[in-house]
Structure 1
């Protein structure tokens, strides 16, 4: 009977460890989500501050992206 008790104890120990690890992972995920939420909020605040400063300086919007080579009008070719 000792082998049976040992097997039950081992199964219980494995179940306890599994529950512990799952709980720990859930706590870590919760912490990471809270951290990301705080960081995104801070980034939004910084973006708003930048936009406010740009507005105070008279600069509206963001600078346009650099033009692609095919988008720019071509200068007329010299005929000389």
Structure 2
């Protein structure tokens, strides 16, 4: 994947970000041979993987934060129950 040319990066960025002119972008960035097609597909797949990883990292971070907040809430409830003398009730 290291052989992806900068013009494919630029054309794929235009193609991905410009929904209204997608036909023009598609014709201007059409690969001309098998190697170009391979590089183009690898670039698109890498971009998809990067987006997926970014979303996955965000979700994991949010889950970790939520777990921390739940732990804090449980500690606060336990403290309140102890202060109220309800800690031995089951």
Match of 1:10 among 37, 49, 58: 37
1:43 maps to 70
TM-score (norm 1): 0.66
Deviation at 1:47, TM superposition (A): 0.4
1: CA distance between counterparts of 2:69 and 2:78? 14
Aligned residues: 60
- Determine which structure has greater relative contact order: mean sequence separation of CA pairs < 8 Å that are 6+ residues apart, divided by chain length: 2
1:60 maps to 87
The alignment yields a C-alpha RMSD, in angstroms, of: 1.8
TM-score (norm 2): 0.59
Question: In the superposition, relative to structure 1, how do residues 61 and 22 fare at CA in structure 2: closer, same or farther (>3 Å)?
Answer: farther
> Unpaired segments of 5 or more residues in structure 1?
64-80
Deviation at 1:62, TM superposition (A): 6.1
> Unpaired segments of 5 or more residues in structure 2?
1-30
Structure number with bigger Rg: 1
